[in-house]
Structure 1
Amino acid sequence: MRLAACCLVAAVLGWTPGADAPGSDAPAPAGWIDLMKPEAWKKVDPGWIVTDRVSLDPEKATKLKAEKAAGGTIWVNGDKGRIADLYTRASFGDCDVHVEFMVAKNSNSGVKLQGVYEIQFIDRTPPKEPTGDSMGGIYPRADTTPNYHHIDKGIAPKANAGRPAGEWNTLDLTWRAPRFGADGKKSANAAVVRAVLNGQVIHENQELRTPTGNNYPKAETPTGPLMLQADHGPVAFRAVRIRPTK
């Protein structure tokens, strides 16, 4: 990032070069990488709001209400709830991930391992039988033509563990990257070894044969960035961190 761009992002996010970034007042546990810092991401849209509190807008529950606050540790995806997604500068293979998030009514977000395998975050009345498009689901594969549409059901979570719009959710996930032989061919699928949403196990030893969504035709790789989706409705994040594992 060029210096001028870095300073613009720093000013918007409420910190100055040389000072501690938002979230540094609550350091990540040993071995974990704190991602609540602008420098952790390839590009940070200046519309992000860094604050110390967020809630549903009392006048419109499909929006989140937040005001910038110096030293805040919560990131909200702008006034309109649609902003460029975040991709980490670093690439990761096997890892543990911790994400705390809040969505507005009818909002849609997610976290993508290696940038292409998505765990769905969505506000929707919990179905009797959850699917991959439910809260905590492994998102279905999809095509974009003639219109965006799913071509399978994805992988449903074991439980409807999501909390109502305007409440914080916590996801803890252990990820195993796909394996490749000396010839470059895939020798083992990627897998969600374990995922726990709000204290409930939602996935265990769940293999993914391909990336998810419309990324499914892409060639798989041993590593990739962590992505936070921010372009499908109001969402807030806090305490996002990652720990590479052997």
Structure 2
Amino acid sequence: MAAQAQQKAKPEDTEVWEPVPKVVQPGQVHLQAPSDAFMLFDGKNLDQWVSTKDRTQPAGWTVANGVMTVNKPAGNIETKKTFTDYQLHIEWRIPENINLEGQSRGNSGIFLASTGKGDDGYELQVLDSYQNKTYVNGMAGSIYKQFVPLANPAKKPGEWQSYDIFWKAPVFEADGTMKSPARVTVLFNGVLVQNNVELLGPTQYIGTPTYKAHGASPIKLQAHGDKSEPISFRNIWIRELK
């Protein structure tokens, strides 16, 4: 019966539109990596990244002027290294000339643990949420289709924005059963938008999340298949938490 229900489900079934998080004017957040951080992208190259489609192949995004930019035909990219618990800092920018609406307005995502070749994993949404109406569990700062952000501190397109993420990976017993679920805290432009939330499972565009056992995983950046101009990233560093 559960499988039949999933087959009949539609994407709209899991969209939440109200209440809309309050708008907060953020400050400037550009954090220099601390001494024990590992640089995932320092503006020079994509040596720490590979293609999600084929991990034996290099990441196919572009690097120029200290910035990496999505190359949609190349698809998603993910880290060479795998991680469990960590602190992650990442900065991103929506193109200034974007002119679409809703989920087509600068859509990307940070998969906090990538569990497959496509859009599998636990997604923190990247989107233009500056005066852009969409379902609130799909706006920037949301854990996509699971948790609405506590506030909306989004900046205008063309301005750099930041996420500071504190990720606690799920833990599974030897037989694959759940021991403890994933948890995450997120600061968006310095504003708390996810406060140690307990994830329901990996992201599902349609249907209900369900955990499947996995171990240490890469972090994935999404090349979303919409018509908007490509999103850019910079200053990505991580601290593994033991």
Q: TM-score scaled by structure 1? A: 0.67
**Within 5 A, what are the aligned runs for 1:1-246?**
28-36=33-41, 37-43=45-51, 44-46=58-60, 48-52=61-65, 73-78=66-71, 83-104=74-95, 105=98, 106-115=105-114, 116-126=121-131, 131-140=136-145, 154-192=146-184, 194-214=185-205, 216-217=209-210, 219-232=212-225, 233=228, 234-246=230-242
CA distance in 2, matches of 1:237, 1:158: 24
Q: Which has the higher contact order (CA 8 A, sep 6+)?
A: 2
Change (3 A) 1:126 1:117: farther
Seq. identity, %: 30
- Cα drift, residue 82 of structure 1: 5.4
Moved more, 211-220 or 90-99: 211-220
Cα pair distance change 1:230/1:89, threshold 3 Å: same
Give, in angstroms, the shift of residue 27 of structure 1. Answer: 8.4
Code of the residue aligned with 2:221 in structure 1: it is L
Letter matched to residue 36 of structure 2: G
Instruction: Give runs of ≥4 in structure 1 deviating > 3 Å.
Output: 124-130, 214-218
Shift of 1:125: 4.6
Query: Cα offset for 1:222?
Result: 3.0
Distance 2:135 2:203 in 1: 17
Tell me, which stretches of 5 or more residues in structure 2 are unaligned? 1-30, 52-57, 99-104, 115-120
Deviations for 1:31-84, whole angstroms, at most 9, x for unmatched residues? 2111114221123444x33222xxxxxxxxxxxxxxxxxxxx211124xx5541
Aligned-CA RMSD value: 2.5
User: Secondary structure of 2:235's partner?
Assistant: strand
Classify the secondary structure of the residue corresponding to 1:114. Answer: strand
Deviation for aligned residue 1:218: 6.3
The residue identity in structure 2 corresponding to 1:100 is E
Assess, with a 3 A threshold, how the Cα gap between structure 1 residues 196 and 82 changes in structure 2: closer, same or farther.
farther
Give distance in 2, aligned partners of 1:199 and 1:87: 25
For residues 128 and 84 of structure 1, do their structure 2 counterparts lie closer, same or farther at Cα, with a shift above 3 Å needed?
A: closer
| Paired residues, number | 184
Q: What is the alpha-carbon distance in structure 1 between the residues aligned to residue 188 and residue 156 of structure 2?
A: 13
SS at match of 1:135: coil
Post-superposition offset of 1:107: 1.1
What amino acid sits opposite 1:244 in the alignment? E
Change beyond 3 A, Cα 1:45–1:176: closer
**What stretches of structure 1 of length at least 5 have no aligned partner?**
1-25, 53-72, 141-153
Per-residue CA shift, 1:188-216, capped at 9, x if unaligned? 11010x21010110011100121013494
Q: SS where residue 47 of structure 2 aligns?
A: helix
- Displacement of 1:128 after TM fit? 8.5
